[in-house]
Every structure is written in C-alpha cells, then in structure tokens.
Chain A
Amino acid sequence: MNLFKELYQYRELLKSNVKKEIRGKYKGSFLGIIWSFVNPLLTVLVYAIIFPYILKQDQPNYLIFLIVAIIPWNFFTTVLNQGSTTVLVNGNIIKKVYFPREILPISIVVSGLVNFLISCIIILLFVLFGGLGFSIYLLYLPIIILIQFMMSLGFVFVLSAINVYVRDVEYIVNFVLTLLFYATPILYDASLIPARLQWILNLNPMKHLIEAYRAIFYYQQSPNLVGLLSLLCIGFGVMILGYVIFKALEKGFAEEV
C-alpha cells in the first residue's frame, strides 16, 4: 500500500518521465514521434515482402497476419531492451536524490504501453480495411494487454535491477530476444511446428499472448479462455516477484551504478 501512496505522491515525476521517454527517443529527428509507428510498419513490410518467398506459407492476408503479431512483439522487445538499462543510465540521479526507484522501470513500461495503444489504431485500421472487419472478441483486448503489461513490468523490474550488478544483462537480453523472435509464432503459425516440439513452444509465454492477439484480430475467434486466465495469474505473479526482487536489490543501487 505504501507503494501506491508513494507512486501517487510522485505522479508528476512518473508523468514527466513517461513523456520524456516517448518524446525524447526521437528527439532531433525530422519525423519525431511518427517514427514509433513508421518503424514497426517498415519491419512488417520487409517481412511481408520477403517471407512469402522463402517460407512456404498459405496464410491469406499475410500482411495482417504479421501486423497483429509484430506490433505487440515490438512493445515487448522495446520495453525489455530499454528497461534493462534504465536504472544504470539514470545512475547520476540515483546517486544524488531519493525518489521511489521503481518509477524508472514503471515509466519505461508505461511509455511502451502508450506507444502500443496508439499502434493498436494501426492494427485496427489494417484489420478494418484489409477486409476482415471487427469481431466481438475484440472485447478481450484490454485483458490481453493487461497481461502483457504486467509480465513486461515484472521482467523489467528484475532485469534493470540485476543489470546494475552484472552489466552483461543488457547484452544477454538483446540476444535472447532475437532468439525468442523466431521461437514465437510471429512469422509463422504455431501449427507449422512438428507436434513433438510443440511443448517447447508452449513454454514461451509470449507465444500464448501473440496467439491471443491473433485470435481476436485475425482469426476472429475467442482466445483460449482457460489459457488466458492462467496467463493472467502468471503475469500477476511475474510482476509481484519482479517487484520483490527489485526492492531487495535497490538498496545497493547508489553504490553500484
């Protein structure tokens, strides 16, 4: 409860930090914030052009098939990559002033969320004009986003804190995310993977999230509700566990950064 009280008191700091993350990233560039939408679109375009040639795939509307998966994935990787260094890059403030340290990881994930919500408009536009239309199952979207938010926050809590002590974390994260990109059914459908390897795929929480996004946007089906519910619990658990680890490590931040 103390956490919420402090966060409420420091809401202005949280707000200005989020703003700084969103605006500051493309500061000085010509297109500014538009880059955060142009960027994923260009990525999608590259995959949409190249992959049908090298991968035998018969998905209709492959472009939309990709967009509904890559944009959420982008939210996940951007947040994790930026998040793992956030305590370290703010070291000079940490050494000089007290403020609730959890503001740093939280503002990274919140700014990622804001970006993602705006990007969702792109998804909706593509779904609408791509001939698929909206389904009633879009009502599940807030829950799926909430799960991803909690899970990302939990990971960012842990990674940003450990990275203060072991600087390799940011590079390991970078690599693991690249690997995970291919281990998650983004470019392909999970059914393409042989049955005996499916269990590996299922260990990856992002697989289930991406499939949920795809279910409501692309297949216009209800997501797997039991799976969604257990993901919600896992996401909540990851967030709490991450926070506890962050709290345990935060006392040494000022001496280590």
Chain B
Amino acid sequence: MKSKKQMDHSFAIQVKDMTKTFKIYSDKPSTLKERVVFWNRNKKEIRTVLENINVTIHKGESVALIGTNGSGKSTLLKLMTRIIYPTKGSVTTNGKLTSLLELGAGFHPDFTGRENIYFNASIFGLTREEIDARLDDIIEFSELQEFIDNPVRTYSSGMYMRLAFSVAINVDAEILLIDEILAVGDQHFQDKCFQKLHELRDSNKTIVIVTHSLDSVKELCHRAIWISDGKMRMDGDSKEVIDAYLEEVSR
C-alpha cells in the first residue's frame, strides 16, 4: 500500500525504472509429464524486451510511441494496460483506462453487434445503465445501423473495426491506449476517428498511441517517445522526435 504522500495525482501513467523480460522456451513444457521428463531440457532464453524505462505521462497529454517493428513499443503499451506486468520496476496508472490493443477483443462471433456492444463495454467496466446511455452514440459513430442486429461473424473486417473502435472511444475513459488499429477502415472512417481523437485530446483526456502512420500522429500528439531495441531513444516534441526517427530509418 502506498501512502497518500507518495501519490502524485497529476500523472496519468508513471513508468519507473521498468524492465521487462520474456522467457523464450524453444520447447515449452506445458504438461506435468513434460515438466518432469524434460526437466533438464528446458532451453530457455531470457530476452529483455524493455530495459530501464522511465516515463511519466501527465494528465491530458497525448503521446505517440514510435519505433521499428519489435522495438518493444507494443509491449510497453500492454504493460500500461496491466495485461502483463513488469519484471523490475513499476508501472502505475491513475484514472479510468481503456485500451484498444486488438480489434474487438472479446467479441463473440455468434452474438449480434448490439449484444457485442454490451459485452465489450462491460469488459471495459461499464454498467448496464451506462451502456444504455451510450448505445445510440456508439451505433451512430460506427455507422452500422442496418447491420447492428446481425451477428458479427457476418461483418467485414472494416465493420468489425468500426464497431470495436466506436465502443472503446465512447467508454469515457480518462486514459485511452491505442495500438496500431487505425490502419483498418476506409479513409472516411479513419478521418472520423482522428477527429474524435482530437476532440478527446482537447477535452483533457490522456491518449497513448502506438502507430506507424507518423504524419497523422504528428498533428494529434504533442509528444512522441521513440523506442529502439527496448530502450528509450528519444522523448520530446513529436515533430522533432519523428523527424529524427525518419532520418535514422531512411539512412
């Protein structure tokens, strides 16, 4: 338990001296027999995915995490979501948090769009009344009015994404974590999403986004963090960091 004094209420996410390692088994034992019989054969390699990360994201900030594939930025996002936990150090979040790591996490293919809105929103911690109140907004934003009572297995991937995004964005979380999902959907919907994200940013929500579409993020986020090989390479104004990153990548 943290004492009240130590709590600093101005931050939304605080990552302190955080290191994350994964154990990589070449042949992972998952049953008892394998564990007993092959006890000396467990070739396990410890891979450090993130090393000594220190980030404080304040309330109302919008931050882009950038870096090449495999640099650890998605892992960092998962740590902030509390899906996985740090090996060393700490990740503390302060405020109601919603994450959009993968399209339609927890969507049930046989349920209708409407039922899935309820189910998905309840995973984000909303109560029935809260969902009822938001239902129209969610459906309207998704532009799926005619399909909302069809099972989601009949949806195209674009429709799926629209539904998932509409739920997550209408949860009214104080912190929104988004991983590389805006690539799906047509131009019209993408523009709409960005417009909504701008709105959220201006209403003092905290946004952390992992992306490769650097141009759009330059406008949205005022701060960018460049992660390279699991280490923080650069942290600062989004234009500066993205320019430096592009320069390095193109070399």
What residues make up the interface of A, taking CB atoms closer than 8 Å to B?
A: 9-13, 15-16, 92-99, 166-168, 251-252, 254-255
In the complex, which residues of chain A have a beta carbon less than 8 angstroms from the beta carbon of B124?
Answer: 97, 99
In the complex, which residues of chain B have a beta carbon less than 8 angstroms from the beta carbon of A93?
Answer: 105-106, 123
Closest CB-CB distance, B161 to chain A, in whole Å? 14
Report yes or no: A254 in contact with B84, Cβ–Cβ below 8 A: yes
What residues make up the interface of B, taking CB atoms closer than 8 Å to A?
A: 22, 30-33, 35, 78, 81-85, 97, 99, 101-102, 105-106, 118-119, 121-128, 131
- Pick the contact of B99: A9, A11, A97 (CB < 8 A): A97
Given A93-B123, A254-B78; A168-B106 close (CB under 8 Å): no
Report yes or no: A98 in contact with B83, Cβ–Cβ below 8 A: yes
- Pick the contact of B126: A12, A95, A167, A254 (CB < 8 A): A12
Closest CB-CB distance, A166 to chain B, in whole Å? 5
Given A93-B105, A98-B82; A168-B32 close (CB under 8 Å): yes
Report yes or no: A97 in contact with B83, Cβ–Cβ below 8 A: yes
Q: Return the chain B residue nearest A95 by Cβ.
A: B83
Report yes or no: B84 in contact with A255, Cβ–Cβ below 8 A: yes
Most buried by A among B30, B35, B83, B121: B83
Please measure, in the bound complex, the distance between the C-alpha atom of A92 and the C-alpha atom of B123, giving whole angstroms. Answer: 13
Closest CB-CB distance, B185 to chain A, in whole Å? 19
Please measure, in the bound complex, the distance between the C-alpha atom of A92 and the C-alpha atom of B105, giving whole angstroms. Answer: 8
Total residue contacts A-B, CB cutoff 8 A: 65
Please measure, in the bound complex, the distance between the C-alpha atom of A187 and the C-alpha atom of B233, giving whole angstroms. Answer: 69
In the complex, which residues of chain B have a beta carbon less than 8 angstroms from the beta carbon of A16?
Answer: 118-119, 122
A-B contact pairs, 24 of them (CB 8 A): A10-B122, A10-B125, A12-B127, A12-B128, A15-B122, A15-B128, A93-B106, A94-B83, A95-B83, A96-B101, A96-B102, A96-B106, A97-B83, A97-B105, A97-B124, A98-B82, A98-B83, A98-B97, A166-B30, A166-B32, A167-B30, A168-B31, A255-B22, A255-B84
In the complex, which residues of chain A have a beta carbon less than 8 angstroms from the beta carbon of B127?
Answer: 9, 11-12
- Pick the contact of A12: B35, B84, B106, B131 (CB < 8 A): B131
Given A166-B31, A168-B32; A99-B84 close (CB under 8 Å): no
In the complex, which residues of chain B have a beta carbon less than 8 angstroms from the beta carbon of A99?
Answer: 123-125
Q: A13-B125, A16-B118, A254-B78 are in contact. List 15 more A-B contacts (CB 8 A).
A: A12-B121, A12-B128, A15-B122, A16-B122, A92-B105, A93-B105, A93-B123, A95-B83, A97-B83, A97-B99, A98-B83, A167-B31, A168-B32, A168-B33, A254-B83
Please measure, in the bound complex, the distance between the C-alpha atom of A164 and the C-alpha atom of B152, giving whole angstroms. Answer: 29
Report yes or no: B31 in contact with A96, Cβ–Cβ below 8 A: no
Report yes or no: B32 in contact with A98, Cβ–Cβ below 8 A: no
In the complex, which residues of chain B have a beta carbon less than 8 angstroms from the beta carbon of A251?
Answer: 84-85
Please measure, in the bound complex, the distance between the C-alpha atom of A168 and the C-alpha atom of B29, giving whole angstroms. Answer: 11
In the complex, which residues of chain B have a beta carbon less than 8 angstroms from the beta carbon of A255?
Answer: 22, 84
In the complex, which residues of chain A have a beta carbon less than 8 angstroms from the beta carbon of B102?
Answer: 96
Closest CB-CB distance, B81 to chain A, in whole Å? 5
Please measure, in the bound complex, the distance between the C-alpha atom of A38 and the C-alpha atom of B118, giving whole angstroms. Answer: 31
